[in-house]
Amino acid sequence: MKEFEKGFIELATDFNVLRFGEFKLKSGRISPYFFNAGQFNTGKAIKTVGQLYSQKILDSKVEFDLLFGPAYKGIPLVTAVSSALSDHKDCQFMYDRKEVKDHGEGGNLVGATAEEIKGKRILIVDDVITAGTAIKQSVDVIVKAGGIPVGVVVAIDRQEVGSNNSAGEQERTSAVMDIQKTLNIPVYSIVKLDSIIEYIEGGYGGEKYVAYLEKIREYRRVFGV
């Protein structure tokens, strides 16, 4: 296991961002673990997260002009990532509103203006990919604004079948694979489900997480790729 992966998982468990139990996901699946980036709720934590995202982006060598963070959890993430990147690349960022504003500047986008978005290469910053639905919605927002989606960076890739697959299919593709194929953009993640399993198997989190291993493996058998 890479040191930065271990460090990220430790940070996520310390802040209850990564929890184990029984959770219903947006996709409707019942998962034995849950990732909630909203719990990175201190200045030091979000600063560290921004630095980890920034390092992943720099390592990927993806070329972009703007960062986009989908509401709501993507908003603090894209802000922290933009700040962390500023020593290497001072770029604009933007995010969307769930509700369209009908006064002031109006619209559903905040940050970069409509003129600044058109024709620009935009990198999406989000917390997690499960079925890929939220990422496809972000791509739609960017395209409608005249931007060009060039990639996605997330904290965790759950390595699950995409919304175009059923869990029983013989040749299943992950949500990440679906996005890369249908939208023709790359997806980068700080950690994957495999990293979490390796973390628990290695005893890094102590005995308290070992009890969930079998349920996580079974979940991966049903929904994983």
Task: Give tens-digit pLDDT for 130-150.
Answer: 778 889 999 999 999 999 999
Short-list 118, 145, 133, 124, CA closest to 29: 133
88 is catalytic: no
Cβ neighbors of 23 (< 8 A, separation 6 or more) are 30, 31, 32, 33, 34
Q: What is the percent of the chain with per-residue pLDDT over 90, rounded to a whole number? A: 76
Select from 170, 176, 184, 120 the least CA-distant residue to 153.
Answer: 176
- The model carries a pTM of 0.89
Please state the rounded mean pLDDT for residues 208-215. 93
Q: Alpha-carbon torsion 128, 163, 187, 90, what sign?
A: negative
Look up residue 93 and give its amino acid. Answer: F
Q: Are 29 and 223 in contact (CB under 8 A)?
A: yes
**From the candidates 24, 88, 101, 181, which is the catalytic residue?**
101
**Domain of 47: which CATH number?**
3.40.50.2020
Is the predicted pLDDT of residue 224 greater than 70, yes or no? yes
Question: What is the band of 1 on the pLDDT scale with cuts at 50, 70, 90?
Answer: confident
Residue range 18-28: average pLDDT?
92
Of 44, 61, 98, 103, which residue is the catalytic one?
103
Cα Rg of the chain (Å, integer): 18
- Expressed as residue numbers, the domain containing 44 is 3-223
Reduced 3-state DSSP string for the chain: CCHHHHHHHHHHHHCCCEEEEEEECCCCCEEEEEECHHHCCCHHHHHHHHHHHHHHHHHHCCCCCEEEECCCCHHHHHHHHHHHHCCCCCCEEEEEEEEEECCCCCEEEEECCHHHHCCCEEEEECCEECCCHHHHHHHHHHHHCCCEEEEEEEEEECCEECCCCCCCCCCCCEHHHHHHHHCCCCEEEEEEHHHHHHHHHCCCCCHHHHHHHHHHHHHHHHHEC
**Active site (annotated) includes residue 192:** no
Does the pLDDT of residue 222 top 90, yes or no?
A: yes
Tell me the pLDDT tens digit for each residue of 158-206: 999 876 655 555 567 888 998 999 999 999 999 999 999 999 999 998 8
* Better pLDDT: 24 or 107: 24
Angle CA 28–31–37, to nearest 5: 90
Return mean pLDDT, the chain: 91
Quote the number of domains for the chain: 1
